[in-house]
């Protein structure tokens, strides 16, 4: 998941391109992680509201925990499905 500072315009353009679809399937099976901010940005398109807790990252060197929350939805009417591998990595959903 790319940092939205770098990839935000490309992600916006891609989501605009598919905005008229009935549903969207996102294949995350080969996702190897990336920026937590990128996850927040993507979730702005995929989740039905803001303020959803996404993740906490604990920094052992400082003892601080950084929380990540979804933003207001960018396209609240888009229905999505995600495809994940049995054990995806990093920014992908966790294995159950």
> CA 73, CA 38: separation in Å to the nearest integer?
14
Helix (H) or strand (E) holding 79: strand 79-83
Q: What's the whole-number mean pLDDT along residues 43-67?
A: 88
What pLDDT score does 74 carry? 65
Q: Say if residue 78's pLDDT is above 80.
A: no
Residues 56 and 65: beta-carbon distance below 8 Å: yes
> CA 94, CA 79: separation in Å to the nearest integer?
21
pTM for the model stands at 0.65
What pLDDT score does 85 carry? 58
Count of other CB atoms within 10 angstroms of residue 38: 20
Rounded to whole angstroms, what are the CA distances from 70 to 50, 54, 91? 5, 7, 14
Q: Say if residue 76's pLDDT is above 50.
A: yes
Q: What is the mean pLDDT of the chain?
A: 76
User: Would you list the domain boundaries of the chain?
Assistant: 4-83
Enter the tokens of residue 80.
């999505």
């Amino acid at each position: 998941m790319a940092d939205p500072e770098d990839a935000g315009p490309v992600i916006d353009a891609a989501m605009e391109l598919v905005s008229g679809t009935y549903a969207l399937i996102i294949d995350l099976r080969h996702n190897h992680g990336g920026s937590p901010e990128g996850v927040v940005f993507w979730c702005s398109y995929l989740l039905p509201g803001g303020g959803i807790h996404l993740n906490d990252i604990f920094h052992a060197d400082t003892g601080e925990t950084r929380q990540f929350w979804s933003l207001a939805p960018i396209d609240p009417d888009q229905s999505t499905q995600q495809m994940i591998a049995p054990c995806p990595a990093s920014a992908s959903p966790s294995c159950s």
